[in-house]
Amino acid sequence: MSASHAALPTKERILGAAEELFARHGFEGASLRQLTAAAGVNLAAVNYHFGSKDRLIEEVFRRRLDQLNSRRMAALQKVAGEPDTTIEQVLAAFIVPALELSHDGNGSLFMRVLARAFAEHDDTLRKFLSDNYGHVMRQFTAEFARLLPHLSKEELYWRVDLVTGALTHAMSGFGMIQRKSDVTEHVHREQTAQHLIRFAAAGLKSP
């Protein structure tokens, strides 16, 4: 464990170690013994701060998603319901905060954790995510529906789901387009957002 890591509060060390282990080994594969070793704490500290492994998993998600969705909702509220709002503006409110997260510290690591939540078919975790964060997606979908009245509900859901998948792929950093050595992280993130917004807008607005 590095000196900078050791200087973090105990709860943050546990969350950081859990995020890395869940990304690497999955929720079932990561053991509490591995976690305590990686975080440099004992089991009593994990129980004190979280109570159980399930609660720890939930807190790993809350740490990232609370901030992400707060930024998304703040951006959406600036344009939602306005007569001159464009699809591109709503997409920017949805996409830009997520890309900022993915380029912020271990944000890309968290994206692998998020992917695990769906790949491992954990119904309890899915319910937690739906109950706590589903309202954000519903508000974005409602605004898309307002701007795309020609789409049926089913067709809109298909398209929004595919946009979300494209965003998740862009956030993971595993795509063909990698940042060039002479391009800053900020510029690369802006380029990714511009291309993704144009791509998603074309798909959503298609007849």
Indicate the range of 54-58, 72-76, 106-110 predicted with least confidence: 106-110
Provide CATH code, domain 58-205: 1.10.357.10
Residues 8 and 47: beta-carbon distance below 8 Å: no
The Cα 188–Cα 52 span in angstroms is: 39
CATH for 1-51 (3.50.40.10, 1.10.10.60, 1.10.287.610, 3.40.50.720):
1.10.10.60
pLDDT digits (tens, 9 = 90+) for 148-187: 999 999 999 999 999 998 988 887 665 556 667 767 777 8
For the beta carbon of residue 5, count every other beta carbon within 10 angstroms: 14
Q: Where are the domains of the chain?
A: 1-51, 58-205
Residues 91 and 98: beta-carbon distance below 8 Å: no
Among 173, 157, 27, which residue's Cα sits nearest to residue 98? Answer: 173
The structure's pTM equals: 0.82
Residues 181 and 203: beta-carbon distance below 8 Å: no
The Cα 202–Cα 61 span in angstroms is: 31
Q: Residue 14 burial by CB count (10 A; 0-12/13-18/19+): exposed, middle or buried?
A: buried
pLDDT digits (tens, 9 = 90+) for 32-63: 999 999 999 999 999 999 999 999 999 999 99
